Amino acid sequence: MEDEAVRPKNPEAQSKTALLHLTPMHLTSIRVRTDRAEVAAFAGEIGCLGGPDFVPMTFPIRWLTQPDVRQAISQALGPGYLPVHEGQSFAYVKSLKIEHDYELAIRLKLSEKPSRLTLHMRVSDPQGEVCTLETVLRIVPIGMDQRS
């Protein structure tokens, strides 16, 4: 029996979710930057003790707030669902540099039982891959009874 608590009640949203579940969504060529002020604010919030040119290893998580990425997450989930951060992992080839431009590519994939949206991300610069990341978001219905 399908878990009704994690399926959209809206048929249009349900078909979007089912389509993404079968076919991962890809976002490519998203330009991102390690802006000094943004990196410093992030480092301060997480209590990072690195110097002024240090970019925390977890900084790329901030790029999930880019408009294209937020829109893709919202589109994948449909109305009435909230993505809740469940986990993340990072694998670096080389360190991020302050005040440097990068290209971000993302593959979004829905899975069930429990419902999750996994984002596989690749950060690169003109010399090649810098790091890969995986972020797992648990999909939680808003204002709906959850069944166990």
What DSSP string runs through 67-78? HHHHHHHHHHH-
Residue 108 CA to residue 76 CA, distance in Å, equals 8
The domain over range 4-141 is classified in CATH as 3.10.129.10:
yes
User: β-strand 81-92 against 25-33: which pairing, if any?
Assistant: unpaired
| pLDDT one-digit tens code per residue, 118-138 | 999 999 999 999 999 999 999
CA distances from 108 to 26, 89, 116, 121 (A): 6, 15, 10, 9
Cis peptide before 114 (omega within 30 of 0): yes
83-109 pLDDT, tens digit each: 999 999 999 999 999 999 999 999 999
pTM of the predicted protein model: 0.76
